[in-house]
Amino acid sequence: MQSAAKFQVVNGQLIGARQISSPNYNQRPEDTEIQLIVIHNISLPPSQFGGGYIEQFFQNQLDWSVHPYFQTIAGMQVSTHLLILRTGEVLQFVNFNDRAWHAGRSSYLAKKECNDYSIGIELEGSDDTDFEDIQYQVLADAVASLQQAFPKIAHHLAGHSDIASGRKTDPGPHFQWSYFRALLAQKKQA
């Protein structure tokens, strides 16, 4: 698994990711350049992994009756560009050239509406669990490819909690930023 992912961005798609289409996207505003990556965590139900519920949620196909927690998110229409599962598998739901619905009310360096100009990456995880090493490896590979394709994001990586502070806590205290940044630096040299 260690050598797994080497990606390439072609026409807004990450080659090497499994493509699944989400209806939850729209166009980015005209003349908007992609200039930020936002890192998140998600698990459904919270802190439980596997099961395929996240994929169903992003496709508006989640059966709200399956779990009491699902009723608290019933009807929400959200998405992400990429989801990295605990296994290291990468799923793409929205083309990078389109606007995914992951950030909500947000601002980065005083610029509001991060969905307009960012790429969202969800890690299957929670605020109270360590991420898998393979997730860091794959995230670093994916971000290195994205930075090549969209040079403006080179220095703009944020957590959801950074752009929606007081409202969001992900990717949470278990996300090791320094480890991730070191890995990313290695991948960029390779």
What is the total count of residues that contact Zn ion (CB under 5 A)? 3
Report the candidate in 48, 49, 126, 119 with the shortest Cα–Cα distance to residue 82.
119
> Is residue 81 near Zn ion by the rule CB under 5 A?
no
Select 119 or 187, whichever has its Cβ closest to Zn ion. 119
Select 14 or 163, whichever has its Cβ closest to Zn ion. 163
Q: How distant, in Å, are the alpha carbons of 18, 36, 79, 149, 182 from that of 89?
A: 8, 22, 17, 21, 21
Select 146 or 158, whichever has its Cβ closest to Zn ion. 158
CB 66, CB 42: distance < 8 Å: no
Choose the stretch contacting Zn ion; rule: CB under 5 A; options: 16-24, 40-48, 125-133, 149-157. Answer: 40-48
Select 112 or 188, whichever has its Cβ closest to Zn ion. 112
Choose the stretch contacting Zn ion; rule: CB under 5 A; options: 24-32, 35-43, 91-99, 129-137. Answer: 35-43
**DSSP H/E element including 176:** none
The maximal CA–CA distance of the chain, rounded, in angstroms, is: 48
Stretch 2-31 residues interacting with Zn ion (CB under 5 A): none
Distance CA 156, CA 152 (A): 8
Burial label for 58, CB within 10 Å (0-12, 13-18, 19+), is buried
CB 145, CB 138: distance < 8 Å: no
Question: Quick one: how far is CA 52 from the chain centroid?
Answer: 16
Q: Give the bridge partners for 9, in sequence order.
A: 14
Q: Is 122 a catalytic residue?
A: yes
Q: Which of 55, 122, 124, 132 is catalytic?
A: 122
Stretch 84-123 residues interacting with Zn ion (CB under 5 A): none
Exactly one of 28, 81, 160, 187 binds Zn ion (CB under 5 A); that residue is 160
Exactly one of 81, 106, 170, 175 binds Zn ion (CB under 5 A); that residue is 170
> Is residue 40 near Zn ion by the rule CB under 5 A?
yes
Choose the stretch contacting Zn ion; rule: CB under 5 A; options: 7-15, 27-35, 104-112, 160-168. Answer: 160-168
The catalytic site residues sit at 122
Contact positions vs Zn ion (CB under 5 A) = 40, 160, 170
